[in-house]
Structure 1
Amino acid sequence: MFLLRDYKDILKKIKNKKPLIHHITNYVTATDCANTVLALGASAVMADDPLEVEEVVIHSDALVLNMGTLNQQKIEAFILAGRKANDLGIPIILDPVGVGGTKLRSEALKRILKEIKVSVIRGNMSEIKHIYGIEEMTRGVDSISDSKDGGKEISKAIAQRHKCVVAITGEIDYISDGNQTFSIRNGHKMLTNITGTGCMTTSLIGVCCGATKDIFMATALAISIMGIAGERAYEDLQDKSGIGSFKVHLLDAIGGFTIELLEERGRIDGLSY
Structure 2
Amino acid sequence: MQPTPDSLWADVLAVRQQQPLVHNITNFVVMNYNANALLALGAAPVMAHAREEVVDMAGIAQALVLNIGTLEPRWIESMRLALQKARERGIPVVLDPVGAGATPYRNQAVAELLEAGNPTVLRGNASEILSVAGVAAATRGVDSSAASDDAVRAARELASRLDAVVCVSGATDHVLAPDGRHARLSNGHVWMTRVTGVGCSASALIGAFSAVQPDAFHATTAAMAYLGVVGEVAAEQVQAAGRGVGQLQIALLDGLQLLDAATFLARLRLQTGN
- Whether contact under 8 Å (1:165, 1:177) holds in the other structure is yes
* AA at the equivalent of 2:168: I
8 Å Cα contact 2:3/2:272 also seen in 1 = no
Distance in 1 of aligned mates of 2:120 and 2:260: 25
Displacement after TM superposition at 1:44 (Å): 0.3
TM-score normalized with structure 2 length: 0.95
Q: Does 1:266 align with 2:268?
A: yes
Q: Provide the alpha-carbon RMSD of the alignment.
A: 1.4
Q: Mind listing any 5+ residue stretches in structure 2 that lack a counterpart?
A: none
The letter for the 1-side match of 2:177 is: D
> Normalising by the residue count of structure 1, what TM-score does the alignment of the two structures yield?
0.96
Aligned residue identity for 1:18: Q
Q: Quick one: distance in 2 between partners of 1:260 and 1:217?
A: 20
Partner of 1:154: 154
1-structure distance, mates of 2:3, 2:202? 23
Where does residue 246 of structure 2 map in the other structure? 244
Tell me which residue corresponds to 1:96: 97
Which one-letter code corresponds to 2:74 in the other structure? Q
The change in CA–CA distance for 1:12 and 1:34 in structure 2 (over 3 A counts) is same
Aligned length: 271
Provide Cα deviations, 1:141-200, integer angstroms capped at 9, x if missing partner: 111111122x33222111001000000000111000131001110010000111111001
CA–CA distance in structure 2, aligned partners of residues 3 and 266 of structure 1: 10
Kept after mapping to 1: 8 A contact 2:128/2:144 = yes
Moved over 6 A (4+): none
> Is 1:172 aligned with 2:163?
no
Give yes or no for contact 1:165–1:215 (8 Å, CA) kept in 2: yes
Q: 1 CA distance for matches of 2:155 and 2:88?
A: 26
Alignment-derived partner of residue 27 in structure 1: 28
Identity of aligned residues (%): 35
Amino acid in structure 2 at the alignment position of 1:175: V
Q: Which amino acid aligns with 1:106?
A: N
Contact 2:34 2:204 (C-alpha < 8 Å) held by counterparts: yes
1:256 to partner: Cα distance = 1.3
Gaps of 5+ in 1: none
Once the two structures are superposed, residues 199-245 of structure 1 have per-residue CA deviations (whole angstroms, 9 ceiling, x without a partner) of 01111101101112111111001001111111111121145451110
Please state whether the residue corresponding to 1:205 is helix, strand or coil. helix
Summarize the alignment of residues 1-273 of structure 1 with structure 2, pairs less than 5 Å apart. 3-149=4-150, 151-178=151-178, 179-237=180-238, 238-240=240-242, 242-272=244-274
Partner Cα separation in structure 2 for residue 144 and residue 244 of structure 1: 24
Distance 1:4 1:146 in 2: 25
Measure the CA separation in 1 of the matches of 2:75 and 2:242: 38
**d(CA) in 2 for partners of 1:5, 1:265:** 13
Describe the SS at the equivalent of 2:23: strand
